[in-house]
Amino acid sequence: SSPHLQTYNERAKKHANKAAKALLEIMEEKQSNLSVSVDVTKSKDFFDIIEAVGPHVCLRKTHIDVLEDFDATVIDRLRELSEKHKFLIFEDRKFADIGSTVVLQYSKGIYKIADWAHITNAHAVPGPSIITGLASVGIPKDRGLILLAEMSSKGALTTGSYTEDAVRMARARRDFVIGFIAQHRMEGIGASDTDNIAGEDFLVLAPGVGLDATGDAMGQQYRTPEQVVFESGCDVIIVGRGIYGKGENVDAREVLKQAQRYQAAGWEAYKKRVQR
Ligand code: 5IU
């Protein structure tokens, strides 16, 4: 049956990519398909949020380059927390350059993303060479790549044949591309009769999730965990401001409360989806 009708555990057992396998196992174990996204600029707020939500999330999504007080200790602490609370780290880097450049952006510079991010993501716009480049760094480290197949923002150009081509690119590199940022399931999309799509299991990570708001002032569009996980079959809900609000002077109790609320809503939608 289609992967979204199987349990995360069943899928974990079959997945060949280690990062995808680990993520699916953590989701089942922690009963959480919630990824918290933390776009804050101060490392104190950044860590206050992670400490509060740690036990409730399977994945933590970072934009490491928005931290104003970044230094190497941030990575050490992030790693410690990832082990303590058992969540993976997803750097939402959205690589978009030619293969030889993304190799450098992924492994070098001040962030050295490949050293600590279990998962990162890339635009499909440069074509397959971007995957070749990132895979040359990521595969030896057991990393996983997510392609941007659909964006959540209003007027996004990631539609129709673009989305199909992104899925075809992923299909050709299933050892490294573990899924998509998208709003729907993607198995079989754009496949021809001769493509071997049996066993295809792409994780769908969906941003643009909110229980209280329908959007923001800059084109973000929100759907509920029920719509995203149950109706559209996505696997992971990515929630930012719905959990941490403005992200300044973080109120840990409120953040915890919201994380629990999203965790419960996401898990309930998943249970409803896989019940048979
Ligand atoms: N994000 C999106 N939509 C997308 C992609 C990434 O919102 O299509 I690709 C990111 C942007 C932000 C987070 O880091 O997901 C959503 O945060 P909020 O839940 O605060 O809107």
Lowest mean pLDDT across 73-77, 143-147, 153-157, 245-249:
245-249
Predicted pLDDT at 134: 98
Nearest CA to ligand 1 atom 19: 240
pLDDT above 70 covers a percentage of the chain that reads 100
Ligand 1: atom nearest CA of 156 is: 8
Atom 2 in ligand 1: residue holding the nearest Cα: 207
- Helix (H) or strand (E) holding 205, with range, is strand 203-206
- Convert the pLDDT of each residue in 116-125 to its tens digit: 999 999 999 9
Q: Which atom of ligand 1 is nearest to the CA of 210?
A: 19
Catalytic residues: 92, 94, 97
**pLDDT at 248 (0 to 100):** 86
Q: What is the pLDDT of residue 199?
A: 85
Given a cut of 90, is residue 50 above it in pLDDT? yes
- The residue-averaged pLDDT of 40-53 equals 96
pLDDT at 1 over 80: no
Hey, which residues does 95 pair with through a beta bridge?
Answer: 122
DSSP H helical ranges for the chain = 8-14, 18-30, 43-53, 72-85, 99-107, 113-116, 129-138, 160-171, 225, 241-244, 252-274
pLDDT band at 224 (very low <50, low <70, confident <90, very high): very high
pTM assigned to the model: 0.96
C-alpha 247 to ligand 1 mean position (Å): 15
| pLDDT tens track for 147-182 | 999 999 999 999 999 999 999 999 999 999 999 999
Say whether 32 counts as a known binding-site residue: no
112 is in an annotated binding site: no
